[in-house]
Structure 1
């Protein structure tokens, strides 16, 4: 039979918390136990001392003070012993030379009963007989040192007799305190005190083990409940993957730290989800861009290929057909070149290639490009409504490109005879800075509302047939948006069907 023992994971947070909790509990139990042990020990020994003191007080103090010699002490020693001896005590009389001149011990009263009260009061233990105890016989030098001490001898001492039994001993001087005739030594066994202390240690150790066991059971349960929100967090996190980023952690667990962690993790998930969505959008736009670019490139290449085939089949011998084919190839080549140049320009703008920035007068730039705009507009009217000179920090060629592209877009959507294109400039005071407001508007066909959010997308054409007719690929407005963004400006469009369209550009006015 195979037995699998499952050991706890020592690296888990619950195990570490439980082990530290038990260590703290064990430390507290040791401190409390040590304090209780030494307090009880001191109390029991002090109680024994008080009993011995009470026995000595039975002696006539006046007689003791009148004893001035070892002979008188020896003659009075029997009376001293009979007066103070009690059950389980020993009495010894020591002369001025440190020698024991009389002594006696008693272990039972005349009825054979234990009459000691102190241990019964302190420990409430069962009475039992004790073996006879011997009189502690210390060295003469020890007794002489006691005799030479000034004043009364206070307190008690723990000494071992010749049978190696521990006894509680007190001494009192006989005669003058400064020049005593001898000592009275009264002692009793410390065995009962030791038994009580051992019994208390045993009880406390068993109780402590029980407390630690119960503490372990309660600790496991409490820490499991306490850490449940954290386990929920780990379980929820385990369910999150690239296809399931909408999962959120609960933030009302009742534990501030877990709620803070969950809130931070939710914010991180939200940022990741947004990043993934943006990546998907960018990927889709890139796919659409490649598809649109391939489609736009295919059209002129197909035309060029078709005209070349016609020429190869003999059309080159016909001068009229040759001129027509070559002109068509030239037109398609120009369109192809323009498309490639626009794509290269967008790539540079996307890569944020540094260009020369100068302080430019926007009105002068418009005046410079105005002749080209007149040629581009044909019979359409271009109305300039320019404010006083306004300077901006920009690249002149890029601003010319913006104006040209917007006017070209207006030309594509306005009537050739009745079309009016208006270019206006003005300054606008913002909350903290002054702005240039450049508007290019027309009275053309307008743009449907559903297309307004897409007109700056690459290869987007609101009216494909009209754009293709004028050689457009849907990149002009995308280039405009990229240039304005690179100049830290903004552009918006307002349009109404059959009434016209207005593009409004805002750029920061130069501070110097």
Structure 2
């Protein structure tokens, strides 16, 4: 199958080269032949035109021509021809007003002169045209013109073009012979060259087979026999293989992250489940005899159940974000959302200094519930991880076609290692409270809006989270 395919490719390339060369030979032959024919006919037309103009400008008549002593030369060269000789290259004859040939000084017109007069049906029209015409005299091709003498006699002048046609035919035959030889030579050279140049494709087949067997690091080697196109194919194939390998490695990393995510989720869910199971076992064995103990156990069970419910809700929300859901974009006033978040924080922690930089209205196209989730998570992190007296600033602004929404606190901040993992799921700096999914949700919602999240922090310098969104209006 492979050999047949390569053979087919070689044949196609050979036929294409031969066809292109054949078209070139035909075009070149046509142009050269037409140019040669035009040049030769132009030379004949020029001679005929000069002779006609000379007769026209002399104002001669047949009587004057007969009376001139030099007429003998004219008669010998133009008006007389021995019978049996080949048809002359040039014929000159006189035609009277009635259309018949004229016998100058008693000399009888030759057969060629009468044939020329018979071939020209309308001497008047021929004399009136500035360019010579093609005519046929007893099967031979001629170029003819005419002029009118002062006494009304028409002089017909004709020059044979048979030599021109024979030369053109010979040139065509020669070009066709040489062209056929060139085509045969090109076909042989193309078959040999294509067979040699296509050898690197075998390396590509071998590399593809090795990759199919699992060797993703295999690449197509360079070859001295490769043409430019084959080398481009090799480079493109190696680039594609690199992308395939990268995608495979990325999939492996994603699978590893998924396994780690499931393990972390299992661990996070195991803690509240263990607490609930423990209190239920205490209750089942009757070890909670006091009402206060039973009340405390019930509150702990409810708290752990609430914690587990929130964790499951956040996991489901992240799962929907991973599936790239369609957001409900509509006009949203970000300034109002920022002010609402600040008011919620003040209600929960009245003693915390809160400043808001959101004057006026800043309307963009966004998913309102998603942005409220982002602000809620950011403000919740500030409320959970910083002392109640630490100042907080919330702000929003539009600049350079982007919307920047920031939440900054003056708390203890994070070290560089923790800041690098702040968006990892289930990551909690210093093992603090919370599920560790809040910042992952923030990043997922912002990326679903086509934006990004930036974090600036250092130990003792607080934490600033900036959400950058495209300014859709």
TM-score (normalizing by structure 1)? 0.54
Higher fraction of helix: 2
Report the Cα distance in structure 1 between the residues aligned to 2:347 and 2:324, rounded to whole angstroms: 32
For residue 370 of structure 1, what is the aligned residue in structure 2?
Answer: 342
Instruction: Provide the C-alpha distance between the structure 2 equivalents of 1:482 and 1:374, rounded to a whole number of angstroms.
Output: 27
Aligned residue number for residue 13 of structure 1: 6
Provide the residue aligned with 1:232 in structure 2. Answer: 203
TM-superposed deviation, 1:14: 5.6
Task: Give the 3-state SS of the residue equivalent to 1:460 in structure 2.
Answer: coil
Alpha-carbon shift at residue 405 of structure 1 (Å): 0.5
Counterpart in 2 of 1:496?
Answer: 458
Q: SS of the counterpart of 1:363?
A: helix
Offset of residue 316 of structure 1: 4.2
Which of residues 229, 238, 258 is equivalent to 1:286? 258
1:463 is paired with a residue whose SS is helix
In the TM superposition, what is the alpha-carbon distance from 1:478 to its structure 2 partner? 0.7
Report the counterpart of residue 454 of structure 1 in structure 2.
421
Alignment of 1:328 with 2:290, yes or no, is no
Confirm or deny: 8 A CA contact 2:338 2:358 kept in the other structure: no
Unpaired segments ≥5 residues, structure 2: 19-82, 87-183
Matches within 5 A, 1:46-195: none
**Displacement of 1:241:** 4.2
Q: Which moved more, 1:314-323 or 1:293-302?
A: 314-323
**1:390 maps to what in 2?**
362
**SS at structure 1 position matched to 2:398:** strand
Return the alpha-carbon distance in structure 1 between the equivalents of residues 314 and 418 of structure 2.
Answer: 22
Residue in 2 that maps onto 1:444: 411
Structure 1 or 2, whichever has the larger Rg, is 1
Name 2:166's counterpart in structure 1. Answer: none
Cα distance in 1, alignment partners of residues 291 and 207 from structure 2: 78
Q: Does 1:435 align with 2:428?
A: no
Partner-residue secondary structure (3-state), 2:421: coil
Any idea what the Cα deviations from partners look like across 1:242-296, whole Å, max 9, x if unmatched? 7532333245644112112112212211221221122112111110110011001
Task: Supply the RMSD in Å over aligned alpha carbons.
Answer: 3.5
Q: What aligned pairs does 1:300-449 form with structure 2 within 5 A after superposition? A: 300-377=272-349, 379-417=351-389, 419-429=390-400, 434-449=401-416
Q: Match for 2:447 among 458, 480, 485? A: 485
CA separation of 1:16/1:400 partners in 2, compared to 1, >3 Å: closer, same or farther?
A: closer
Q: Which moved more, 1:252-261 or 1:390-399?
A: 252-261
What CA distance in whole angstroms lies between the structure 2 residues aligned with 1:12 and 1:362? 63
Supply the distance in 1 between the matched residues of 2:469 and 2:327 (Cα, whole angstroms).
Answer: 17
Give CA deviations for 1:14-33 in whole Å, capped at 9, x if unaligned: 697499989x99xxxxxxxx
Q: Provide, for residues 179-213 of structure 1, a one-character-per-residue CA deviation record: whole Å limited to 9, x for no partner.
A: xxxxxxxxxxxxxxxxxxxxxxxxxxxxxxxx99x
* 1:478 partner SS: helix
Deviations 1:153-193 (A, max 9, x none): 9xxxxxxxxxxxxxxxxxxxxxxxxxxxxxxxxxxxxxxxx
Going from structure 1 to structure 2, the CA distance change for 1:232 and 1:9 (only over 3 Å counts) comes to closer
2: CA distance, partners of 1:348 / 1:462: 25
Q: Distance in 2 between matches of 1:377 and 1:242?
A: 63
Alpha-carbon distance between aligned partners in 2 of 1:9 and 1:267, rounded to the nearest angstrom: 24
SS in 1 for 2:4: coil
Q: Quote the residue 1:47 is aligned against.
A: none
* Residue 244 (structure 1) aligns with: 215
Corresponding residue pairs, total: 312
In structure 2, distance between residues paired with 1:488 and 1:18: 52
Q: TM-score, normalised by structure 2?
A: 0.59
Do the aligned partners of 1:459 and 1:473 also contact (CA within 8 Å) in 2?
Answer: yes
Structure 1 residue 229: Cα displacement: 2.0
